[in-house]
């Protein structure tokens, strides 16, 4: 049962302060004349209709979201049909593949920009158009801060990619083909053509990478209409759900249903559990922790392990599985996964969601329609598919995505050791992606099939925004011997489309003085997944000497700031484990100006 909400009345709408404010006739007239010059009528602005913002994340620079430019016409139709007035405005572009030095640098920038728009313009509610990786968390973080009625509209994934009868998944194909290119099995034109196969239509990545994960989790949080997250971009249902989203946001305004009603601790717990069952991206903890902090919910990587680790993988979608977005949608999408989790007693069913109903009501009857793609809880693809939160003497927190640990990797590192959950190895350390590319094939490094590759200088300060570079492929010589992966560890992130079993997001990072800065090639590490621990096998006296030497040299060196925003972000950004939010930004809440 949902609790009846206080009804908003036309005279209490926030936009009235701009458009119907007799105490300030001059400023009111200026607001009105400059929108009437668009052909908007006086009646639309002053008769007590909700003014609804549509945050447009699509542009020629953000192709993953580009079709929102057309899709929002259906959103506007829905808003008008429900009696609202739509105002479209842009989100700072964020394109995962193209933005340099990294798209993650722009998540907080887009967040800041959207907060200012929602704070300072006459909007009673907002539709957040989302898609490419960081567009979703940036939008949700801002909605949490400002707290006006808000609903997410995903653009949906691309159609499946194909090469002959084989599915080709966005991003995942890149990781596979890079190995074949390095091993000399294919040439560059073939490499390019195979990667282009993965992108046959408009939409975001068709794998369960960060984009599909974050849009699915926006739905799991209750911030979008049920079943909407993973409708493929070109499907007719995508237009229909855009219309329904526009209609619904107007009612959310009248119901005064705000992000703070939806983004509760229970909702974040539901998102963590759902993420494990989806085989979701290792970027999800960073973004979900950030959204939670902006919503005033204390949430960290211990919560991810406690709630998420033992949840089984139910979703057979790349990179953890075999299928892509179209099959996932046809099998029932996010509601079918959550239906299994709710029946297994893993979700809070009584939370309210964007459509005004409870999660349990929304999931009623939404069973999987294809058990090969979305499994029953009793018959999962992998047991214990969530993240482990590793600790030790190198970092306070680092994540490992266990759903993608391949059998071959398990056999080589885990199952033949004395302790079936632990392994030890000699490390080879790289300082940033350039260093890795320059040296990975150097025979002097003596990398063999038991070496642990370490990447540092790749956190939010070392590489502004945090680089997706921890999943490092082995040297070509090992690839040619059939060694497809080595254990990797680092203070950066990795792409959600990668199936690499890396230890990533290590916090604190080397650039802020984390012990990773003391590591040297040739050191030995012991990784114990049973105890969730990584220990550097170097004694404290030696580490103290290294620390002194590092400090005498002025600390861990990283490239200089190239833009004003890089400098600002570096001076304020918090560790990946804390969501990479900006210091103090999370203390602002309910900032809708009146
Ligand atoms: Fe934009 Fe994957 S690159 S969604
Ligand atoms: Mg990425």
**Which ligand 1 atom lies nearest to the CA of residue 211?**
4
**DSSP letter (8 states) at residue 143:** H
Q: How big is the chain by its Cα radius of gyration, in Å?
A: 24
* Per-residue pLDDT band at 183 (split at 50, 70, 90): confident
How confident is the model at residue 3, as a pLDDT? 54
Which of 170, 196, 198 is the best mutation target for the ligand 1 pocket, counting ligand atoms within 8 Å of the beta carbon and taking the most?
Answer: 170
Domain boundaries, the chain: 388-553
Q: Whose CA is nearest to atom 1 of ligand 1?
A: 132
Q: Are 273 and 347 in contact (CB under 8 A)?
A: yes
Q: How far is the CA of 74 from the centre of ligand 1 (A)?
A: 23
Select from 254, 283, 512, 294 the least CA-distant residue to 387.
283
Task: Measure the CA–CA gap between 272 and 541, rounded to whole angstroms.
Answer: 40
Interval 441-469: pLDDT, tens: 999 999 999 999 999 999 999 999 999 99
The pTM of this model reads 0.97
Q: Which residues contact 511 (CB under 8 A, 6 or more apart)?
A: 457, 459, 461, 462, 491, 517, 556, 558
Residue 214 Cβ < 6 Å to ligand 1 = no
- Give the bridge partners for 210, in sequence order: none
170 Cβ closer than 6 Å to some ligand 1 atom: yes
Q: How far from each other are the two terminal CA atoms of the chain, in whole angstroms? A: 32
In degrees, rounded to 5, the angle at the alpha carbon of residue 128 between the alpha carbons of residues 157 and 225 is 65
- Taking the alpha carbons of 295, 401, 136, 246 in that order, is the dihedral positive or negative? negative
Please give the number of the atom of ligand 1 that sits closest to the Cα of 131: 4
- Paired tokens of 560: 């200089």
- pLDDT score for 496: 75
pLDDT band at 4 (very low <50, low <70, confident <90, very high): low
Residue nearest ligand 1's atom 2 by CA: 205
Give the tokens for residue 419.
């302790």
| 131 close to 58: Cβ distance less than 8 angstroms | yes
User: Ligand 1: does its nearest atom lie under 6 Å from the Cβ of 519?
Assistant: no
For residue 1, the model assigns a pLDDT of 46
CATH pick for 388-553 out of 3.40.50.620, 3.20.10.10, 3.50.30.80, 3.90.1150.10: 3.50.30.80
- The predicted model gives 116-132 an average pLDDT of 98
Read off the DSSP letter of residue 412. Answer: I
**Which residue has the least CA distance to atom 3 on ligand 1?**
96
Is the model's pLDDT at 93 over the cut of 80?
yes
DSSP assignments along 165-211, one per residue: TEEE-TTHHHHHHHHHHHTTSS-HHHHHHHHHTT--SSSB-SSSSHH
In SS3 terms, 521-564 reads as CCCEEEEECCCCEEEECCCHHHHHHHHHHHHHCCCCCCCCCCCH
Q: Report helix, strand or coil for 272.
A: helix
ipTM of the complex: 0.94
Distance (Å, rounded) from C-alpha 87 to C-alpha 269?
33
């Amino acid at each position: 049962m949902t609790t009846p909400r206080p009804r908003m009345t036309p005279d209490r709408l926030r936009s009235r302060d701009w458009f119907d404010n007799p105490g300030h006739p001059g400023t009111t007239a200026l607001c009105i004349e400059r929108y009437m010059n668009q052909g908007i009528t006086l009646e639309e602005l002053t008769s007590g209709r909700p003014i609804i913002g549509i945050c447009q994340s699509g542009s020629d620079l953000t192709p993953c979201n580009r079709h929102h430019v057309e899709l929002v016409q259906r959103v506007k139709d829905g808003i008008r049909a429900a009696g609202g007035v739509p105002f479209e405005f842009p989100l700072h572009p964020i394109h995962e593949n193209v933005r340099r030095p990294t798209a993650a640098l722009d998540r907080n920038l887009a967040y800041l920009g959207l907060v200012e728009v929602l704070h300072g313009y006459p909007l009673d509610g907002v539709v957040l158009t989302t898609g490419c990786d960081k567009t979703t968390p940036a939008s949700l973080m801002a909605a949490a801060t400002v707290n006006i009625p808000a609903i997410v509209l995903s653009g949906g994934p691309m159609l499946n990619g194909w090469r002959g009868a084989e599915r080709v998944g966005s991003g995942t194909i890149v990781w596979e083909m890079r190995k074949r290119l390095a091993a000399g099995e294919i040439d560059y034109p073939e490499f390019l053509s195979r990667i282009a196969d993965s992108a046959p239509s408009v939409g975001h990545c068709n794998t369960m990478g960060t984009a599909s994960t974050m849009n699915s989790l926006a739905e799991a949080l209750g911030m979008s209409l049920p079943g909407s997250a993973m409708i493929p971009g070109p499907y007719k249902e995508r237009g229909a759900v855009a219309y329904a989203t526009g209609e619904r946001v107007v009612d959310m305004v009248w119901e005064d249903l705000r992000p703070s009603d939806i983004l509760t601790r229970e909702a974040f717990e539901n998102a963590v559990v759902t993420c494990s069952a989806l085989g979701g991206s290792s970027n999800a903890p960073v973004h979900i922790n950030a959204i939670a902090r902006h919503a005033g919910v204390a949430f960290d990587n211990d919560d991810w392990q406690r709630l998420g680790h033992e949840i089984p993988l139910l979703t057979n979608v790349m990179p953890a599985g075999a299928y892509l977005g179209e099959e996932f949608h046809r099998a029932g999408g996010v509601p079918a996964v959550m239906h299994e989790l709710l029946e297994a007693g893993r979700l809070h069913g009584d939370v309210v969601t964007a459509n005004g109903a409870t999660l349990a009501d929304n999931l009623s009857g939404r069973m999987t329609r294809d058990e090969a793609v979305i499994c029953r809880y009793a018959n999962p693809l992998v047991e214990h598919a969530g993240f482990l939160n590793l600790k030790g003497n190198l970092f306070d927190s680092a994540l490992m995505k266990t759903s993608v640990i391949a059998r071959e990797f398990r056999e080589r590192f885990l199952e033949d050791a004395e302790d079936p959950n632990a392994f030890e190895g000699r490390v080879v350390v790289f300082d940033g992606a350039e260093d890795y590319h320059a040296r990975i094939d150097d025979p002097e490094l003596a990398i063999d099939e038991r070496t642990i590759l370490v990447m540092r200088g790749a956190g939010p300060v070392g590489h502004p925004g945090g680089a997706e570079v921890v999943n490092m492929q082995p040297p070509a010589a090992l690839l040619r011997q059939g060694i497809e992966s080595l254990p990797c560890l680092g203070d950066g992130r990795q792409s959600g489309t990668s199936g690499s079993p890396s230890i990533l997001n290590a916090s604190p990072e080397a650039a802020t003085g984390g012990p990773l800065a003391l590591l040297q090639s040739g050191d030995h590490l012991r990784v114990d997944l049973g105890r969730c621990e990584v220990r550097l096998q170097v004694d404290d006296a030696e580490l103290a000497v290294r620390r002194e030497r590092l400090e005498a040299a002025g600390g861990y060196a990283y490239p200089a700031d190239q833009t004003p925003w890089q400098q600002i972000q570096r001076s304020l950004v918090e560790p990946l484990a804390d969501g990479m939010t900006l210091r103090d930004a999370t203390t602002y809440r309910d900032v809708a100006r009146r």
